[in-house]
Homo-oligomer: A and B are copies of this chain.
Amino acid sequence: MSLNFVFLGAGNLATQLSLACKNAGFNILQVFSRTEASAKSLAQKLNTIYTTSVRDINPDADIYIVAIKDSAFDDVLPHVNFEGKLLVHCSGSMPLSVLKKYSENYGVFYPLQTFSVDRNVLFWEIPVFIEANSKKNEATLLKIARKISGSVSVLNSHKRMYLHISAVFACNFVNYFYTVASGILKENDIPFNALKPLIMETAQKVQEMAPENAQTGPAVRFDENIISRHLEALENFPEYQAFYESISKSIFENHKK
């Protein structure tokens, strides 16, 4: 399989996925991004060429991976002739059908991970979820995915969106709470390092036990004394105070069940 890829987009996801594709032996013909710095930087990492102009997107690839904001699809995709090509997006929450108007062959390749441009990841350990408009295209995507990930499944658009929502809670909101914690520590001149072993153990626990069994802290104990001390202490952080109150209540209500 010497498939040729073009990557449309050069952000966090495009960077890590294109590197994984290259490492698996696929050819990356070109990178497109409106942002020249990103396009150039990714093309260098891939040892390939780039363009910032939709009219110069290479029409000769087999697979076009779209890793741009869906609101930009209409600015880019109508300019390329995808006849006989496979057009693939990587979004958790865009249905497969959004690609229908651009190509006869289309699919979704959704790697469930948090990507940053400058942080390389072991792609092999990332679960990848596939969907396509035909069995033939599904088979192509499965073959590609199995070259770069050890965990590949087929999942429809509806379920993929709920998977994405669960990831927003388990990753994006979790990271935001790390940020909230970091802010509270900064105000008290305590280094963030103090929390690092706790953060790791919290994540490690649920690798082995169900999260509902791993719950600790004042809310699950319904330790009203501690909870009211904390709420009082957060008076200068009204936003965090509101989160503290509503989430503690939710933990308690859920635990009663």
Which residues of chain A have a CB within 8 Å of any CB of chain B? 12, 69-71, 91, 93-94, 112-116, 119, 121, 125-127, 155, 158-159, 161-182, 184-185, 187-190, 192-212, 214-221, 223, 225-226, 229-230, 233-234, 239-240, 242-244, 246-247, 250-251, 254
A interface: dominant SS: helix
The residue on B at minimum CB distance from A213 is B116
Residues of B within 8 A of A158 (CB): 188
Residues in chain B near residue A119, CB distance under 8 A: 205, 208-209
Copies of this chain per assembly: 2
Also in contact, A197 and B113, with CB within 8 A (given A172-B216, A185-B162):
yes
- Chain B residue contacts of A181, Cβ below 8 A: 166-167, 169-170, 211
Please give, as numbers and ranges, the residues of chain B lying within 8 Å of A121 by CB-CB distance: 201
Cβ-defined contact, B113 with A179, below 8 A: no
Return the 10 tightest CB-CB contacts between A and B, nearest first.
A172-B217, A203-B203, A178-B211, A166-B181, A170-B181, A179-B211, A166-B184, A169-B181, A162-B188, A169-B177
Distance in Å: Cβ of A122 to nearest Cβ of chain B: 9
Q: Tell which of B173, B208, B220 touches A247, judged by Cβ atoms closer than 8 Å.
A: B173
Across the interface, do B197 and A170 meet the contact criterion of CB distance under 8 Å? no
Can you offer 30 A-B residue contacts whose CB atoms are under 8 A? A69-B223, A70-B223, A93-B230, A112-B194, A114-B198, A114-B217, A115-B216, A119-B205, A119-B208, A161-B229, A161-B233, A162-B188, A163-B190, A165-B244, A166-B181, A166-B184, A168-B219, A169-B177, A169-B178, A169-B243, A170-B177, A170-B195, A170-B198, A172-B251, A173-B251, A178-B211, A192-B210, A199-B207, A200-B207, A246-B246
Instruction: Indicate if the CB atoms of B114 and A190 lie closer than 8 Å.
Output: no
